[in-house]
Amino acid sequence: MQVNSDTIRVREVVNQTFEELGEADDVLIRETVLLIDSTYSGRRFVASKWQAVWSVGEMKVVFSNDDGDVFEKPVCLEGHSEPLQRAA
């Protein structure tokens, strides 16, 4: 199975952010493919204290923990020089 370059970039951002949040290097990060109506829609990553969700088409990853802390981190994907801004 060939892995899309967007997925590789998202993994890099998730791993770097988990490290910045204090997740140990040896923590197993579980990765789940997200499907909606049998269509690929993104990925979910779970470490010991934090989880992250990336949806296809989104230029961000949403991080959250059990304490209710939530924040977004932009992701620059192939073909885009910077994260897209949504119209108001």
Q: Tell me how far apart the alpha carbons of residues 55 and 61 are, in angstroms, rounded to a whole number.
A: 8
Please name the residues in contact with 54: beta carbons below 8 A apart, sequence gap of 6 or more: 10, 14, 42, 43, 44, 45, 60, 61, 62, 75
- The conformation of residue 80, written as its DSSP 8-state character, comes to -
Q: State residue 1's pLDDT score.
A: 47
Q: State residue 80's pLDDT score.
A: 53
Tens of pLDDT, residue by residue over 56-70, are 888 899 999 999 999
For residue 46, the enclosing domain spans 5-74
| Residue 24 covered by a domain | yes
Q: What angle do CA 3, 49, 41 make, to 5 degrees?
A: 35
| Residue 46 covered by a domain | yes
| Residue 87 covered by a domain | no
| Residue 79 covered by a domain | no
**Regions in the chain scoring below 50 on pLDDT:** 1, 82-88
| pTM, two decimal places | 0.81
| Residue 17 covered by a domain | yes
Q: State residue 88's pLDDT score.
A: 36
Q: State residue 25's pLDDT score.
A: 81
Split into its structural domains, the chain has a count of: 1
